Amino acid sequence: MNIELAEYDPAWPGLYERERVRVLAALPGAVLEHVGSTSVPGLCAKPLIDLMLVVDDPLDEASYVPALEAAGYRVAVREDDWHEHRVLKGPDTNVNLHVFPRGCAQVRRHLLFRDWLRGNAGDRELYASTKRALAARPWDRVQDYVDAKNAVVLEILERAYLACPVEPGEVEFVTETPPHNAPVVLRDHDPAWARWYAGEEAKIRAALGEQVVRVEHVGSTSVPGLAAKPLIDILLVVPDSADEDAYVPALVAAGYHLRLRERTWHEHRVLKGTAPDVNLHVFSPRCEELDRMLAFRDRLRAHPEDREKYERTKRELAGRTWGRVQDYADAKTRVVERIILRALG
């Protein structure tokens, strides 16, 4: 199979605009973006217009598919186990309409890659030259060509994520002073950590009942074989993390205390437990950080090479002197982002 690339065509934005009008007529107010190589001026591409549609729940096809079918689209791909992704084909133009849920990390990934290539000529040319070299080879499947580009895509995305981080914003400490100087002490993985988490999960579910949308063991103690600080990180999803009255009093009664609020960063809350040492991270549903945290954990569980690389990084950094524990956490950012990007790919 040959991959046919075309030089950038100034007509491509017009084709996107035509599809945008068609989609918005079917779904007024929809969140829609032009993504993929045809969205980057000056970049060679397969002449295929990629659109990204963000909906509340891609699994609820009745909320958007019939309207799109009436406009001439048809569902071509369903990937329930990969971000609930759907692909619809356009009626009269070579179009892939990608559907993702609100809060999915893939949404920012696509937009950041597009915007980075638009603004960075060096990486745009690197990507173009890679595509041309790979397109010159024969491929059994188009997906094999796509997979072969992945190393360069990840290289570019890593630069983009590190240059354009999501700033957490101001942290409001409720019951403790801000992080202070403390040694970083790592321990070899302890099977007891899973039992500690199970006890905390039972306590949380008993306290909150139906307020629990999801609860997960995350962080390094959730990954068998990985060295960690003996601190149990728990991800708790509630209907509205900003509505503290709906969950904080019950958790306080269960032995936790509210430590901090980050109102401008996903309305994140952290509650502390002390026996064992617990950080309980509270988010609302459809939040990008949920996707990232779970993707990172699952990648480390399933890929020993990433787990070993992350542990080497942690041990090397833990051997240094840090003014704050948070500085140690920040120093891991590069390797963490690289692993998350591989997980999301």
- Both tokens of 69, joined, read 């079918």
Tell me the fold of 12-163. Answer: Beta Polymerase; domain 2 (3.30.460)
Banded model confidence at residue 176, pLDDT cuts 50, 70, 90: low
Banded model confidence at residue 318, pLDDT cuts 50, 70, 90: confident
pLDDT > 60? residue 218: yes
Over range 276-293, report the average pLDDT.
96
pLDDT > 60? residue 326: yes
Banded model confidence at residue 178, pLDDT cuts 50, 70, 90: low
Kindly report, residue by residue over 33-43, the tens digit of the pLDDT: 999 999 999 99
The answer to whether domain 12-163 and domain 172-344 are alike in fold is yes
Rounded CA gap, 215 and 196, in Å? 14
Banded model confidence at residue 129, pLDDT cuts 50, 70, 90: very high
The pTM of the full predicted model, rounded to 2 decimals, is 0.88
Query: Cβ neighbours of residue 209 under 8 Å, at least 6 residues apart?
Result: none
Over range 180-197, report the average pLDDT.
88
Contact 232, 217 (CB under 8 A): yes
Rounded CA gap, 300 and 194, in Å? 16
Rounded CA gap, 299 and 226, in Å? 12
Whether domain 172-344 has CATH 3.30.70.640: the reply is no
| Sign of the Cα pseudo-torsion (14, 15, 21, 23, in order) | negative
pLDDT > 90? residue 251: yes
Rounded CA gap, 231 and 308, in Å? 20
pLDDT > 70? residue 313: yes
Banded model confidence at residue 180, pLDDT cuts 50, 70, 90: low
Q: What does the domain layout of the chain look like in residue ranges?
A: 12-163, 172-344
Comparing 143 with 53, the larger pLDDT belongs to: 53
Contact 161, 123 (CB under 8 A): no
Over range 138-162, report the average pLDDT.
92
The full 3-state SS of the chain, as one line of letters, equals CCCCCECCCCCHHHHHHHHHHHHHHHCCCCEEEEECHHHCCCCCECCCEEEEEEECCCCCHHHCHHHHHHCCCEEEEEECCCCCEEEEECCCCCEEEEEEECCCHHHHHHHHHHHHHHHCHHHHHHHHHHHHHHHCCCCCCHHHHHHHCHHHHHHHHHHHHHHCCCCCCCCEECCCCCCCCCCCCCECCCCHHHHHHHHHHHHHHHHHHHHCCEEEEECHHHCCCCCECCCEEEEEECCCCCCHHHCHHHHHHCCCEEEEEECCCCCEEEEEEECCEEEEEEECCCCHHHHHHHHHHHHHHHCHHHHHHHHHHHHHHHCCCCCCHHHHHHHCHHHHHHHHHHHHC
CA distances from 115 to 30, 55, 160, 169, 193 (A): 21, 21, 9, 23, 41
Contact 282, 241 (CB under 8 A): yes
Q: Is the peptide bond before 276 cis (omega within 30 degrees of 0)?
A: yes
Query: Cβ neighbours of residue 202 under 8 Å, at least 6 residues apart?
Result: none
Comparing 81 with 176, the larger pLDDT belongs to: 81
* Mean pLDDT, all residues of the chain: 94
49-55/268-274 β-pairing: unpaired
Q: At what angle do helices 150-163 and 333-344 cross, to 10 degrees?
A: 130
The percentage of the chain sitting over the pLDDT mark of 90, rounded to a whole number, equals 84
Over range 184-213, report the average pLDDT.
97
